[in-house]
């Protein structure tokens, strides 16, 4: 299991378009991937847009990304990169 701690920095948070982008990346990997909000402990399956949008991840939210499975290392690295490079 690999855990990454991140802060959502893009202005609109994981709104529909950025969330879609993150989910598309997560779907490339076979491992289980979850995102947990540190403030209210709500969590989402990062391969499901519905699941992710439902927990409302806004700007400045501290989150944990947890990857578990064969390609967890690559998944965690790639998702960290995608999330930290979101612009709008």
Partner 1 sequence: MNLVDFLIEKETIKLRVAVRNWKQAVGSGVKLLIDQGVAEPRYYQAIIKSVKKNGPYFVLMPRVALPHARPEEGAVSQGFSLITLKKPVAFGSAENDPVSILLSFCAKDATAQLEGALAQAVTIFEDENRIDNMINCATVQEMIDILKRVDFSELE
**Applying CB under 8 A, which residues contact partner 1?**
11-17, 20, 49-50, 53-58
Task: Give the nearest distance from C-beta 2 to partner 1 in angstroms.
Answer: 27
Is 15 catalytic? The answer is yes
The nearer residue to partner 1, 18 or 72, going by C-beta atoms, is 18
Question: Are the beta carbons of 25 and 78 closer than 8 angstroms?
Answer: yes
H helices, E strands: number in the chain: 3, 4
Alpha helices in the chain (DSSP H): 16-26, 49-54, 72-84
Q: What is the distance between the alpha carbons of residues 75 and 57, in angstroms, rounded to a whole number? A: 20
Task: Give the nearest distance from C-beta 57 to partner 1 in angstroms.
Answer: 8
Task: Give the nearest distance from C-beta 18 to partner 1 in angstroms.
Answer: 9
Q: Which of the residues are catalytic?
A: 15
């Amino acid at each position: 299991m690999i855990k990454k701690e991140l802060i959502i920095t893009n202005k609109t948070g994981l709104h529909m378009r950025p969330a879609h982008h993150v989910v598309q990346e997560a779907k490339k990997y076979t491992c289980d991937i979850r995102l947990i909000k540190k403030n209210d402990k709500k969590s989402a399956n990062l391969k499901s847009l519905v699941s992710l949008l439902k927990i409302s991840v806004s700007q400045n939210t501290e989150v944990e990304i947890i990857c578990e499975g064969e390609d967890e290392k690559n998944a965690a690295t790639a998702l960290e990169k995608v999330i930290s490079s979101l612009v709008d």
